[in-house]
Protein backbone atom coordinates (compact mmCIF):
# COMPACT_ATOMS: atom_id res chain seq x y z
CA UNK A 1 0.00 0.00 0.00
CA UNK A 2 1.27 3.46 -0.89
CA UNK A 3 0.27 6.55 1.03
CA UNK A 4 -0.50 10.16 0.12
CA UNK A 5 0.31 12.51 2.99
CA UNK A 6 -1.89 15.59 3.18
CA UNK A 7 -0.51 19.12 3.23
CA UNK A 8 -0.77 19.29 7.02
CA UNK A 9 1.85 16.53 7.38
CA UNK A 10 5.61 16.72 6.91
CA UNK A 11 7.09 16.55 3.42
CA UNK A 12 9.77 14.30 4.92
CA UNK A 13 7.39 11.42 5.66
CA UNK A 14 7.58 9.70 2.25
CA UNK A 15 11.37 9.40 2.52
CA UNK A 16 11.21 8.32 6.16
CA UNK A 17 8.66 5.58 5.39
CA UNK A 18 9.96 4.51 1.97
CA UNK A 19 11.05 1.06 3.17
CA UNK A 20 7.72 0.21 4.81
CA UNK A 21 5.50 2.01 2.27
CA UNK A 22 7.23 2.33 -1.11
CA UNK A 23 5.73 4.87 -3.49
CA UNK A 24 4.49 7.26 -0.81
CA UNK A 25 3.90 10.87 -1.79
CA UNK A 26 3.14 14.18 -0.11
CA UNK A 27 0.66 16.56 -1.70
CA UNK A 28 2.99 19.56 -2.11
CA UNK A 29 5.67 17.82 -4.23
CA UNK A 30 2.84 16.04 -6.07
CA UNK A 31 1.63 19.44 -7.29
CA UNK A 32 -1.43 19.60 -5.04
CA UNK A 33 -0.41 22.49 -2.78
CA UNK A 34 -3.56 24.24 -1.60
CA UNK A 35 -5.84 21.74 -3.36
CA UNK A 36 -9.23 21.06 -1.83
CA UNK A 37 -9.96 17.74 -0.16
CA UNK A 38 -11.92 16.36 -3.11
CA UNK A 39 -9.00 17.01 -5.47
CA UNK A 40 -6.57 15.31 -3.08
CA UNK A 41 -8.95 12.35 -2.69
CA UNK A 42 -9.40 12.05 -6.47
CA UNK A 43 -5.61 12.12 -7.02
CA UNK A 44 -5.23 9.35 -4.45
CA UNK A 45 -7.95 7.30 -6.14
CA UNK A 46 -6.39 7.60 -9.60
CA UNK A 47 -2.93 6.74 -8.30
CA UNK A 48 -3.91 3.91 -5.92
CA UNK A 49 -2.90 5.79 -2.77
CA UNK A 50 -4.44 5.88 0.70
CA UNK A 51 -4.80 9.41 2.12
CA UNK A 52 -3.14 10.15 5.46
CA UNK A 53 -4.38 13.40 6.99
CA UNK A 54 -5.07 15.15 10.27
CA UNK A 55 -8.33 16.44 8.77
CA UNK A 56 -11.26 14.67 10.39
CA UNK A 57 -13.47 15.05 7.30
CA UNK A 58 -11.40 12.48 5.36
CA UNK A 59 -12.45 9.84 7.92
CA UNK A 60 -16.06 10.03 6.73
CA UNK A 61 -15.25 9.49 3.04
CA UNK A 62 -14.99 6.03 1.48
CA UNK A 63 -11.48 4.90 0.65
CA UNK A 64 -10.31 5.64 -2.90
CA UNK A 65 -9.85 1.91 -3.48
CA UNK A 66 -13.49 1.24 -2.53
CA UNK A 67 -14.61 3.67 -5.22
CA UNK A 68 -12.58 1.85 -7.90
CA UNK A 69 -14.28 -1.48 -7.06
CA UNK A 70 -17.78 -0.18 -7.83
Tens of pLDDT, residues 24-66: 999 999 999 999 888 999 999 999 999 998 887 766 766 655 5
For residue 69, name the pLDDT band (cuts at 50, 70, 90): very low
Pairing of strands 49-52, 25-26: unpaired
The three-class DSSP label of residue 2 is strand
Helices (H), the chain: 13-16, 37-47, 64-69
Whether the pLDDT of residue 67 is over 90: the answer is no
pLDDT value of residue 60:
72
Amino acid sequence: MSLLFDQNLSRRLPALLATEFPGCQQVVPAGLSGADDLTVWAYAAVNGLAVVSKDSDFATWPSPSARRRR
